[in-house]
Amino acid sequence: MSRKTEKYSVIGKRQPRLDGVFKSTGRSQFTDDVVLPGMLHAKIVRSSIPRGKIVNLDISRAQKLPGVKSVITHKDTGDLMVGPDQMLLRENDVKFFGDEIAAVAAVDEDTACEAVELIKVEYEPMEPLFSVAEAIAGNAPVIHEHSDDNYADDLKMKFGDTDRAFSESEYIRTDKYTVNPMHSCFAEHHIALVDYSLPNKLTVWSPVQVTGFIKMNMSFKFGIPESNIRVMNLNSGGCFCGRASDKAHHYIAAVLSRKTGRPVKIRCTAEEEFLVLRGGGKYNFTFKTGIMKDGTLKVIDADLLLDCGAYMDVQFIVLQFIGHSLQMLYKMDAVKFKGSLVYTNNHPYMFHHGTGMVAMRFALGSHLDLIAEDLGIDPVEIRLKNAVDKKYTTPSKIKYASCGLQECIKKAYRKSGWKKKYGKLPPYRGIGIGCGVINSGGKGMFMHDTSAARVNVEEDGRVSLFTGLPDMGQGSHTAMAMIAAETLGIKTEDITVIAGDTDITPYDVGAIAQRGTFTTGNAVRNACLDARKQIAKTAAGKFGVKPSSLVFRDKKIYPRGAHDQAVTFEDIVYETLHSEEGRYIMGNGFYNPPAEALDGTTYEGNSSLAYSFGAQIAEVEVDPETGMVKLLRVTVAHDVGRAINPMAVEGQIDGQVFSGMGQTMFEECIMENGQVLNPSLLDYKLPRSFEMPEIEHIIVETVDPYGPFGAKEVGQGPIQCTTQAIANAVSNAIGYPIKELPITPERILKAIRQKEKEK
Amino acid sequence: MSRKTEKYSVIGKRQPRLDGVFKSTGRSQFTDDVVLPGMLHAKIVRSSIPRGKIVNLDISRAQKLPGVKSVITHKDTGDLMVGPDQMLLRENDVKFFGDEIAAVAAVDEDTACEAVELIKVEYEPMEPLFSVAEAIAGNAPVIHEHSDDNYADDLKMKFGDTDRAFSESEYIRTDKYTVNPMHSCFAEHHIALVDYSLPNKLTVWSPVQVTGFIKMNMSFKFGIPESNIRVMNLNSGGCFCGRASDKAHHYIAAVLSRKTGRPVKIRCTAEEEFLVLRGGGKYNFTFKTGIMKDGTLKVIDADLLLDCGAYMDVQFIVLQFIGHSLQMLYKMDAVKFKGSLVYTNNHPYMFHHGTGMVAMRFALGSHLDLIAEDLGIDPVEIRLKNAVDKKYTTPSKIKYASCGLQECIKKAYRKSGWKKKYGKLPPYRGIGIGCGVINSGGKGMFMHDTSAARVNVEEDGRVSLFTGLPDMGQGSHTAMAMIAAETLGIKTEDITVIAGDTDITPYDVGAIAQRGTFTTGNAVRNACLDARKQIAKTAAGKFGVKPSSLVFRDKKIYPRGAHDQAVTFEDIVYETLHSEEGRYIMGNGFYNPPAEALDGTTYEGNSSLAYSFGAQIAEVEVDPETGMVKLLRVTVAHDVGRAINPMAVEGQIDGQVFSGMGQTMFEECIMENGQVLNPSLLDYKLPRSFEMPEIEHIIVETVDPYGPFGAKEVGQGPIQCTTQAIANAVSNAIGYPIKELPITPERILKAIRQKEKEK
């Protein structure tokens, strides 16, 4: 047992998830398990063409169908907006294949489906635009009146003197990369059950990551106080940033509930999933990098054209994430970024696992490998040489209180046997490296990034922990329980986590931006310290010592150095309640990282307090006849600050390698005329479990000074490294650069042929 | 507007119940509204004879009935006890008509009923005992092996030197009184839904007043930690002390749930209601009182023989309540009490609205009127002369921090026009007075009497108040919201009360012993003061003043005397959360009245911190032909300390006058051979709404120094006065003493005839 693990009795131990047995026996409650008396089922009428005028809309037959309780159209919802540029239901035109036109609530799902079939929409088709290139061509038709060039928005960032840095560079290289639309393919489809039967109380059951957004937006749009909106975010089958906020189906269910006076459930079909989730769009990157001959990076100028589909959603945030991330991993003098969002008549895009940064990391990582090759430097060496460290401040003024990047690179390098393999593998075997960095929460969404937590200590010494942080499957509630248990000196199993109901849990910004362990973890720790103080009061009196000299460990309390006097935690708690004072122990805590808000103009500032780093090395084998790639092994080194639960850290790593592997090798929404041609798990190719590579886990613990017990994120950090590592390994295997994701067999064969042609 | 109401902006205002609209529109959720997936329905097989041996029990046909999932008998439950002397299911014998023998869980209620019919029990009848007299006769059969004289328990109390007090008395009178078994007739039948499908987690949905008892007892009996037991006490249709604790149906549902792995619901039928509720038993009082000729009370010696039915439950507590109450209302030198509990083969008795004290108050109040008549003293005068006051300490060392008894008597006297009426009414019109006293919570059940409360202050300035105090219909949650609103300077409507789920709410002893407003009210106030301090920190900084100089009122905050600078409560709260600190406001509070624990041997001590007092004057008209009584008018003066919500105080008074009227004039479980002959609302006579008298409400506010804003109970105080007042009025009307409740027309005609005979 190392000194580190001895220090704690809970933290750092392998802990199976508290909800594991419930999940695996089907006892965990998901939204679809909730059945309310009188509940109706709703279905949405969607556009069957990608662009056109609505000439006629006839709902009369549907209204007459027995069992139909309400049919709503634009007449009912008016100018109710569901995004910055999207009306909830369309009035005069449709802009994508799937655009919401009407909705039906009926006594059961079959009746609702039948009613949808009875609604007749007549269109006058208009010329659609399916690519960014078409959309920004000079004479293209205009998709939204407010944008005559089809540009939806753009973001320009510049940190440092890029002109000077380029002029000082000894070598400059430019590459272009493409990442095709992908989808996160949640285990649980999008779903909402809404009860808005009373005019001033709205309850939403739905898997969501940020309940605050739903409350804020619904409050604003329906004109009822935020506190009268209750969000029940039960278990969720994956989120991957795709369930951060309110979507059309939430509003449609709400409007139907208000009209019928009944709760209304909407369950999205597999096909709808691809319309509702709005996975990542099509990315077109151009990277221009200046560098010294010895491999010292000077400057990056990156350009991104992003197809955002028919409507805007949160795509602007994607640009922000990418712009900042460009200069967070390697030291450089300056960086410039221009990101443009372009409307098309594809379905609206949004987030995808890794939130856009993964696409950028693939491009930049591949680009860096080409530069290294040009300069005759080992890909590991060029990364190590430029890797940021604890003393470094980035051009945008980001600082690192802890930084394990170099350690990650070195450990992955050693463990993977890179030295013996790179350039020495048999033909069509390849090895590649990828690195990544990501924040652990921080300011951005609000002026604050607050999490609050509460504990009730029951008289039998068990503790209820109230948190507004959702657990979307990553095991964050178990991590919170471990932090609570360690702080109170009890066992993880003694903690019951209570979550999933905004009427009951204290404020929490939510499960986004990798903030859970770091920010909510700190709040939980503070709440438990508050409770511990109250318990210590009783114990200190009993032992006749100062509270500060008490040890809380293994369900016992004793004065430091006097373990033989130990009294059980339970007994002290019982005594506290059954005292003359009758003190019931309740602890409160909150945490708002004292980070800077970003400057609104320059985007400079250190808006997060902690950042985690990683390096991954992948080995692949390519079949030159079929173009099939076999991912053999991935060595993952990730700096998590402190592994609260090593088992869960490994689980998070495995899940992200899996997802990164899918994004690199398999996943693509095949688009044709604005339609997803493969909208189901039969046709949309996810990796299967037997395709998982051997994974070597290297947990790097830099013990962050701000994190709870030193912990940082392991939320979307590892996946930042995976796509690059695999793509670089494939390039290394076939000896030709890969510049488009996913690397399908077709694209690999094309690259092999191209290489032969160029010889 | 009086000075008192000006002081507060919420307290003392008439406030409709927050849940009123939900109750009246059928939206409030009761246990029977909860339907769980896979839920089974259970029915109980009960003894069809009052006493006998079980010769054979055949469940085989029931087990084979399609839809039956489990049949349990004593073989499954073994020695699992449901009371001190009662096994959950009977093995060899039955002791009352209705004794639990077996139970069935089936897919629906009809199937369960059918299965119950298929279960054959063969008995060998034994000689039953239906009266206390039979049971304590020397040669009576023994009902329980552990008691060869059929005495279940007894309690002796003696405060002061009774021998000396009697010897000093100038006049001594003895009377005997009988109160027949009654039932509280809840609007909601007894019901339990239990999910014990996992071995270490038990969830009980059931209307209960003291969730802690259920958790404690089930934890002990099933051997699972208390914290793993969740009690969902949703709305309840009346409790009246009859739902304080766990009962057989809770355990039967739990055992069936454990066996079937499914949630199990048991709904009691109207007939079962009388077996499950266990209303008040049959009371036989003997009062011997010593007094001076001027009306100065010296001493009471009271004896009670109480039929407790076939098993013991909480009847011992009834004896304790009665023993203490004897000397709490009037000054006297000494008091002696002996209460004996006797087993019979009637169904087990327990509590009834007023918890036994109402029976005693009827007896003592009637007895006192006879003494007054003997001495030629006005009934009001004799009460006023002996009424306790603030400076008084009772023989058992009870002290009154506030006491409005004399004020209540005087005000009721004046308002009722007693002086013009007493002795001056036409024949068969009568007037009578009754007085009462009751504690507002206190120690007894546990070493503590703690309530805890929590508040979350949301960013829109609305507040969630978490309390473990159930609202059984009395409006206590609205009172808690008013206390919270006044403390925080906001409106009652800004508070959402969250209750009814022990996993979520903080500790609270529960809704018993009239502790809600006083004890939980103080906890709520403390929680809100804690939150207010946190809000004041922001406001004080903003105004540049000390926190103590801030005024919180009408949703505004301002420095004292500077109303023009007022900022809204909401803005300050928003600012607090959206600050650099990101402070989310959560307030905790608890309250355990610093009262003495009773001495375990002498029963002396001041175990409650507050007591409320009342006086009621009733006017009746008796029809000498039919014996029917018409209750014309009741003047109610009640010392509530401070009326938090005068509308609710009046509601509580009305409800108790209604119930007291029922107990005096109508209600009786007509027993024959151990069976209730009238077990339904068709036959068990409750007063109907048109029979309600005119009620004059006089709220006396003594402003208790310990109560929240000076408030005390109005829980079961008023009913202590009602039965005596009405009975005395009837005696006054017919000119003959009433010594048995209820005063049915038959008993009145008998009394009138007796009077004529004695002339």
Contact partners, residue B163, CB within 8 Å, separation at least 6: none
Contact A657, A722 (CB under 8 A): yes
Q: How far is CA A444 from the centre of its chain?
A: 15
Q: What confidence tier does B295 reach under pLDDT thresholds 50, 70, 90?
A: very high
Provide the number of CB pairs (under 8 Å) joining chain A to chain B: 118
Nearest CA in chain B to A592: B582
Residue A458: CA atoms inside 13 Å, Cβ hemisphere, count?
22
Nearest CA in chain A to B461: A227
Residue A530: CA atoms inside 13 Å, Cβ hemisphere, count?
24
| H or E stretch covering A616 | strand A611-622
Q: What confidence tier does B423 reach under pLDDT thresholds 50, 70, 90?
A: very high
Instruction: Give the model confidence (pLDDT) of A441-459 as tens digits.
Output: 988 767 789 999 999 999 9
* Rounded average pLDDT over A319-338: 97
Q: Which chain B residues are closer than 8 Å to A464 by Cβ?
A: 227, 503-504
**Per-range mean pLDDT, top range of A634-638, B186-190, B685-689:** A634-638
Structure confidence at residue B351 (pLDDT): 81
Q: What confidence tier does B600 reach under pLDDT thresholds 50, 70, 90?
A: confident
Phi, psi (degrees; rounded to nearest 5) at A193: -120, 120
Residue with tokens 């010593």: B290
C-alpha A312/C-alpha A484 separation (Å) is 40
* Rounded average pLDDT over A402-430: 98
The nearest CA of chain A is from the CA of B506 a distance in Å of: 7
Contact partners, residue B92, CB within 8 Å, separation at least 6: B53, B54
Q: Which long-range contacts does B665-669 make (Cβ < 8 Å, 24+ apart)?
A: B665/B629, B665/B631, B665/B726, B665/B742, B665/B743, B665/B744, B666/B742, B666/B744, B667/B182, B667/B183, B667/B185, B667/B742, B668/B180, B668/B181, B668/B182, B668/B742, B668/B744, B669/B180, B669/B181, B669/B182, B669/B183, B669/B274, B669/B279
Tell me if B496 and A507 make a contact (CB, 8 A cut-off).
Answer: no
Residue with tokens 């290294």: A372
Structure confidence at residue B277 (pLDDT): 65
Nearest CA in chain B to A508: B584
Q: Which chain B residues are closer than 8 Å to A227 by Cβ?
A: 458, 460, 462, 464, 496
Tell me if B27 and A464 make a contact (CB, 8 A cut-off).
Answer: no
Residue B506: which of A35, A227, A456 has the nearest Cβ?
A456
Nearest CA in chain A to B29: A37
**Quick check: A371 pLDDT over 50?**
yes
Torsion (CA) B404, B407, B410, B412 in degrees, nearest 10: -60
Residue B227: which of A33, A462, A583 has the nearest Cβ?
A462
Percent of chain B with pLDDT over 70: 99
Q: What confidence tier does A185 reach under pLDDT thresholds 50, 70, 90?
A: confident
Nearest CA in chain B to A499: B504
Nearest CA in chain A to B449: A582
Nearest CA in chain B to A530: B588
What average pLDDT does chain B have? 95
Residue-wise DSSP of B216-254: HHHHHHHT--GGGEEEE--B-S--TTTTSS--HHHHHHH
Residue B582: which of A462, A498, A592 has the nearest Cβ?
A592
Q: What confidence tier does A300 reach under pLDDT thresholds 50, 70, 90?
A: very high
Residue A582: which of B449, B462, B580 has the nearest Cβ?
B449
Q: If DSSP codes are grouped into helix, strand and coil, which group holds residue A552?
A: strand
Tokens of A500: 């999933």
C-alpha A285/C-alpha A362 separation (Å) is 10
Structure confidence at residue B4 (pLDDT): 42
The nearest CA of chain B is from the CA of A13 a distance in Å of: 24
Chain B residues whose C-beta is within 8 A of a chain A C-beta are 27, 33, 35, 37, 198, 219, 225-228, 446-450, 452, 454, 456, 458-460, 462, 464, 466, 496, 498, 503-504, 506-507, 577-584, 586, 588, 590-592, 594
CA distances from B615 to B287, B297, B630, B717, B721 (A): 21, 18, 20, 10, 6
**Quick check: A395 pLDDT over 80?**
yes
Instruction: Give the model confidence (pLDDT) of B378-408 as tens digits.
Output: 999 999 999 999 999 999 999 999 999 999 9
Q: Which chain A residues are closer than 8 Å to B447 by Cβ?
A: 578-579
* Rounded average pLDDT over B219-246: 92
**Strands across the sheet with B40-46, in order?**
B68-72, B100-106, B40-46, B264-267, B191-198, B201-205, B229-232
Residue A460: which of B226, B447, B458 has the nearest Cβ?
B226
Q: How far is CA B316 from the centre of its chain?
A: 15
Least confident of A64-73, A447-456, B619-628: A447-456
Q: Which chain A residues are closer than 8 Å to B594 by Cβ?
A: 580
C-alpha B693/C-alpha A757 separation (Å) is 106
Structure confidence at residue B566 (pLDDT): 97
The nearest CA of chain A is from the CA of B595 a distance in Å of: 9
The nearest CA of chain A is from the CA of B604 a distance in Å of: 18
Residue A506: which of B33, B456, B460 has the nearest Cβ?
B456
Interface test with B, best of A27, A230, A449, A456 (most B CBs within 10 A): A456
Strands B40-46 and B740-741: unpaired
Q: Which chain B residues are closer than 8 Å to A504 by Cβ?
A: 464, 466, 498, 504
Percent of chain A with pLDDT over 90: 88
Residue A227: which of B448, B449, B496 has the nearest Cβ?
B496
Structure confidence at residue A277 (pLDDT): 65
Instruction: Give the model confidence (pLDDT) of A653-687 as tens digits.
Output: 999 999 999 999 999 999 999 999 999 888 999 99
Instruction: Give the model confidence (pLDDT) of B645-659 as tens digits.
Output: 999 999 999 999 999
Tell me if B226 and A27 make a contact (CB, 8 A cut-off).
Answer: no
Residue A226: which of B219, B459, B503 has the nearest Cβ?
B459
Structure confidence at residue A521 (pLDDT): 98
Residue B584: which of A228, A450, A504 has the nearest Cβ?
A450
Structure confidence at residue A368 (pLDDT): 98
**Quick check: A97 pLDDT over 80?**
yes
* Rounded average pLDDT over A483-490: 98
Contact partners, residue A288, CB within 8 Å, separation at least 6: A172, A173, A174, A300, A301, A302
**Quick check: A4 pLDDT over 70?**
no
- Backbone dihedral region of A369: left (phi > 0), alpha (psi from -120 to 50 degrees) or beta? alpha
- Between residues A693 and A349, the one the model is more confident about: A693
Question: pTM higher than 0.80 for the full model?
Answer: yes
**Quick check: B224 pLDDT over 50?**
yes
**Quick check: A2 pLDDT over 70?**
no
Tell me if B580 and A592 make a contact (CB, 8 A cut-off).
Answer: yes
Tell me if A496 and B227 make a contact (CB, 8 A cut-off).
Answer: yes
What average pLDDT does chain A have? 95
Chain A residues whose C-beta is within 8 A of a chain B C-beta are 27, 33, 35, 37, 198, 219, 225-228, 446-450, 452, 454, 456, 458-460, 462, 464, 466, 496, 498, 503-504, 506-507, 577-584, 586, 588, 590-592, 594
Q: If DSSP codes are grouped into helix, strand and coil, which group holds residue A700?
A: strand
Tell me if B578 and A446 make a contact (CB, 8 A cut-off).
Answer: yes
Tell me if A584 and B506 make a contact (CB, 8 A cut-off).
Answer: yes
C-alpha A119/C-alpha A113 separation (Å) is 10
SS (H, E, C) A48-68: CCCCEEEEEEECHHHHHCCCE
**Quick check: A5 pLDDT over 50?**
no
Residue A507: which of B226, B227, B584 has the nearest Cβ?
B584
Instruction: Give the model confidence (pLDDT) of B451-481 as tens digits.
Output: 999 999 999 999 999 999 999 999 999 999 9
Percent of chain B with pLDDT over 90: 88
- Helix A646-665 with A357-375: angle, nearest 10 deg: 80
Percent of chain A with pLDDT over 70: 99
Strands B556-559 and B550-553: antiparallel
Contact A471, A19 (CB under 8 A): yes
C-alpha A503/C-alpha A228 separation (Å) is 9
Tokens of A242: 């795709």
Structure confidence at residue A694 (pLDDT): 98
Residue A226: which of B452, B458, B590 has the nearest Cβ?
B458
The nearest CA of chain B is from the CA of A33 a distance in Å of: 9
**Quick check: B6 pLDDT over 80?**
no
| H or E stretch covering B310 | none
Residue A577: which of B450, B460, B578 has the nearest Cβ?
B450
What pairs with residue B335 in β-bridges? B159, B300
CA distances from B201 to A22, A496, B258, B396 (A): 12, 12, 10, 44
Interface test with B, best of A219, A586, A607 (most B CBs within 10 A): A586
Q: Which chain A residues are closer than 8 Å to B578 by Cβ?
A: 446-448
C-alpha B15/C-alpha B9 separation (Å) is 12
Nearest-5° angle of CA B649, CA B653, CA B657? Answer: 175
Nearest CA in chain A to B458: A227
Q: How far is CA A272 from the centre of its chain?
A: 21
> Which of B512, B502, B522 is CA-nearest to residue B715?
B512
Q: What confidence tier does B5 reach under pLDDT thresholds 50, 70, 90?
A: very low
**Quick check: B111 pLDDT over 60?**
yes
Structure confidence at residue B1 (pLDDT): 37
The nearest CA of chain B is from the CA of A585 a distance in Å of: 9
Tell me if B582 and A449 make a contact (CB, 8 A cut-off).
Answer: yes
The nearest CA of chain B is from the CA of A584 a distance in Å of: 7
Tell me if A458 and B507 make a contact (CB, 8 A cut-off).
Answer: yes
Q: What confidence tier does A122 reach under pLDDT thresholds 50, 70, 90?
A: very high
Contact B664, B725 (CB under 8 A): no
Q: What confidence tier does B27 reach under pLDDT thresholds 50, 70, 90?
A: confident
**How many C-beta neighbours within 10 Å does residue B238 have?**
18
The nearest CA of chain A is from the CA of B492 a distance in Å of: 14
